[in-house]
Chains A and B, each alone.
Chain A
Amino acid sequence: MKIKILHLYHDLMNLYGEYANISVLCRHLEDAGVEAELDRVSIGDDYSLSKYDFIYCGAGTERNLMVALSDFIRYKDDLKYYADSGKAALFTGNSFEMLGNNVFDREGKMLEGMALADFSAYQGGESYKAFIEANPEERSLADSDKRLTGDAVFTADFIDKPIVGFINKCGFIKGSFTPFLNVKYGLGNNNSEKTDGVRINNIMGTHLTGPLLVKNPPILSYVISLITGGELTEQKEYDSELLGYEVTVRELMKRFSAE
């Protein structure tokens, strides 16, 4: 079996260590005898989305997200087609904000999104002020305009183990859509909902940043089963990856349950 992977905006959307998601995925696919072919693309590059079996995009700064979206918008129809085909993709950190109707930046400017799901993203700053002014009753969605960072423990309907990671964002998203994960501890899509991210068919978006596929062997194995259509039953395991995950779960549960 051969799998083609597309890493979007690898040099622009990399808050910290996002590339490791691709490293761990390729290693585990190859361990299972699957040939993984990786293309890394960025601003101005032309490619055909439909050629790929998996798409990944990592978190970036607020400004970089706007630059990425301005470029990615020409693939709007292609991405819709990709989503309808049922193939898998993962957008981590703020990159999944591109999948909604629009993104409002910190200066208050609006960019049109990929419109796969019905929501808007507000990066804070002027867009936060404008939103609160227009919707005073929704003030609770974000009670202040500051950096929102923190460890997180999430759960998923399709994985029986906790999901751990870190949130590093500002602003909030608001709309009507199917979330990806449930918040057990930590920050969600906004203050009033205990959900994180968005799911459109097999396109997954989560606010978790960094190398979350390294930190969460259960999600890695779920993603691999989506990519390979469940054909891989046996996946090689690495002690340090599994133990690292267990230690983080233990440390976070100890911390959060004491709060």
Chain B
Amino acid sequence: MRVFFVILICKLLHFIGKLIGKGSSLPGKIALRLDKNILKRIKLPEYIIAVTGSNGKTSTVEMIAHILREGGKTVAYNKEGSNQIEGVTTFILCGSTMFGRVKSDILLIESDERFAQHTFKYFSPTHYVITNLYRDQLTRNGHPEWVYDCLKNSIHEGTHLILNADDPLVSCFGYGRDDVTYFGADRLSVSHEENNSCYNDGAFCPNCKNRLSYEYYHYNHIGKYFCPRCGLKRNDTRYTATSVDLDAGEITINNDKTIKLALKSLYNVYNILAAYSVCSLSGISEDIIAKSISNYVLRNGRVISFSLGERHGTLLTSKHENSVSYDQSLTLAANDKECCDVVIIVDAVSRKYFTSDVSWLWDIDFELLANESVGEIILSGTYVNDLATRFSYTGIDQSKIKAISDITEMSEYLRTSSDRKIYVITCFSDKGKFLSLVKEEQP
């Protein structure tokens, strides 16, 4: 079928879909059924940037798009979040002329890590950012090594890789390749010599399975490592966070450019580094990058301020089945100088599929909340008992912990239980249930 008709149908379906509030993957699915090689026939722009990895994809892509636009480029990206081949097809075709030419200077794609191999069968990114590989949604993904193998199939010749040097498994993608740029962080004041998290996915070399040595860890298995047997090591970085001051909310890149942090977490620093690297490689000046990303507040609704009666709080959207994401949110709450109560809700494990598996709770370092600034810890949702069991195995004073299964009842309790600041840590699947009971505020 002619490209013209496939694009027309895709655009029409997308238009209708938007009117009736349907997702964005169906038009692409139908387009692929009409012509499975449709993506091969589209004239793509000079820069095709793809971003994948376990965590931080959406935030990184949003920052890249923002920087590129500030740098005067036009950008098309899948902000509707459909990151498998159907959704990617929808957004590419909808961003094309009727004759099959992508209208923007730069095509920016957030790609699901297991499905990237299908998407990049039809075209390859010119710049491919891989942020990290963590234990993430293992009920679907298997484990990080399984995802690594899937992702490896999506990397082809002619693609420039932009890799997180501090993640040993991710750095393996660069093994034996020349066209690789690494980003990472130097030793920081928050770095430590022992791995303090509940598990260490950096215990063994991903390449030869000898025991891996670490000079320091930034968090979890992210840090400076080397393998005494095969020589795998943390590569030198071209884009480096040379200093990070989370209290002041400021980082320096390559001892030169200063960036203010709207979100004071190390996790966010890595997203910024990834965005900074790929934008610089795409020809945007580092002055413009640093200026446009400084104090940038993400619009993707991951951090939400709210009020509940007289109380104020922040909801930190974290990913269920992803302990690194939880650890980062817990760190953020525990490091707040102000006293706070922390609410944790696990009601539905996922919004996309059913599972009752709560194994991942045991990988989360809830011990981080054993901090004087944390007042009460309130657990809620269907899996409140599993949370309570998990907390009973921490050293946290059990009198600080309260379990209220029903989310409405919990929020009523919260309304008057104290006057401390509130942190709510939960997932996309559950945050709406809480937000419908409070008043959202501008941060």
Residues of A within 8 A of B (CB): 11-12, 14-17, 19-20, 23-24, 27, 43, 61-64, 67, 147, 149-151, 164-166, 168, 170, 209-211, 214-215, 238-241, 243-244, 247-248, 251-252, 255
Residues of B within 8 A of A (CB): 135, 138-146, 198-200, 203-204, 209, 211, 354-363, 382-383, 385-386, 388-389, 392-393, 403
What residues of chain B lie closer than 8 Å to A64, measured between beta carbons? 204, 209
Q: Which residue of A lies closest to B149 (CB)?
A: A106
Given contacts A61-B145, A147-B146, contact A255 B211 (CB under 8 A): no
**Alpha-carbon gap, A244 to B403, bound state (A):** 12
Looking at the complex, which one of B143, B209, B389, B392 makes contact with A15 (CB distance below 8 Å)? B143
Q: Which residue of A lies closest to B145 (CB)?
A: A61
> Can you give 6 A-B contacts (C-beta < 8 A)?
A20-B362, A150-B355, A210-B359, A247-B386, A248-B358, A252-B356
What residues of chain A lie closer than 8 Å to B363, measured between beta carbons? 16-17
Contacting pair B203 A149 (CB below 8 A):
no
Contacting pair B139 A166 (CB below 8 A):
yes
Contacting pair B138 A16 (CB below 8 A):
yes
Extra contacts, 19 of them, besides A17-B360, A64-B209 (Cβ < 8 A), are A12-B204, A16-B362, A16-B363, A19-B198, A61-B143, A61-B144, A64-B204, A67-B204, A165-B357, A166-B357, A210-B362, A214-B362, A238-B389, A240-B385, A240-B388, A241-B389, A244-B389, A247-B382, A248-B386
What residues of chain A lie closer than 8 Å to B357, measured between beta carbons? 151, 165-166, 210
Contacting pair A62 B359 (CB below 8 A):
no
Q: Which residue of B lies closest to A166 (CB)?
A: B357
Looking at the complex, which one of B142, B209, B403 makes contact with A240 (CB distance below 8 Å)? B403
Given contacts A16-B363, A19-B362, A244-B386, contact A151 B393 (CB under 8 A): no
What residues of chain B lie closer than 8 Å to A23, measured between beta carbons? 393
For residue A121, give the distance in angstroms from its CB to the closest CB of chain B. 16
Looking at the complex, which one of A11, A209, A241 makes contact with B200 (CB distance below 8 Å)? A11
Contacting pair A240 B361 (CB below 8 A):
no
Q: Which residue of A lies closest to B150 (CB)?
A: A147
What residues of chain B lie closer than 8 Å to A255, measured between beta carbons? 354, 356
What residues of chain B lie closer than 8 Å to A67, measured between beta carbons? 204, 209
For residue B3, give the distance in angstroms from its CB to the closest CB of chain A. 33
**Alpha-carbon gap, A238 to B391, bound state (A):** 13
Contacting pair B200 A247 (CB below 8 A):
no
Contacting pair B359 A17 (CB below 8 A):
yes
For residue B380, give the distance in angstroms from its CB to the closest CB of chain A. 13
The interface centre, meaning the residue of B361, B386, B388 with most chain A CB atoms within 10 A of its CB, is: B386
Contacting pair B199 A14 (CB below 8 A):
yes
Q: Which residue of B lies closest to A59 (CB)?
A: B143
Contacting pair A251 B382 (CB below 8 A):
yes
**Alpha-carbon gap, A41 to B301, bound state (A):** 44
Q: Which residue of A lies closest to B142 (CB)?
A: A147
Contacting pair B385 A247 (CB below 8 A):
yes
Contacting pair A149 B142 (CB below 8 A):
yes
Given contacts A63-B145, A240-B403, contact A16 B209 (CB under 8 A): no
What residues of chain B lie closer than 8 Å to A209, measured between beta carbons? 359
**Alpha-carbon gap, A48 to B203, bound state (A):** 24
**Alpha-carbon gap, A24 to B362, bound state (A):** 12
What residues of chain B lie closer than 8 Å to A165, measured between beta carbons? 357
What residues of chain A lie closer than 8 Å to B382, measured between beta carbons? 247, 251
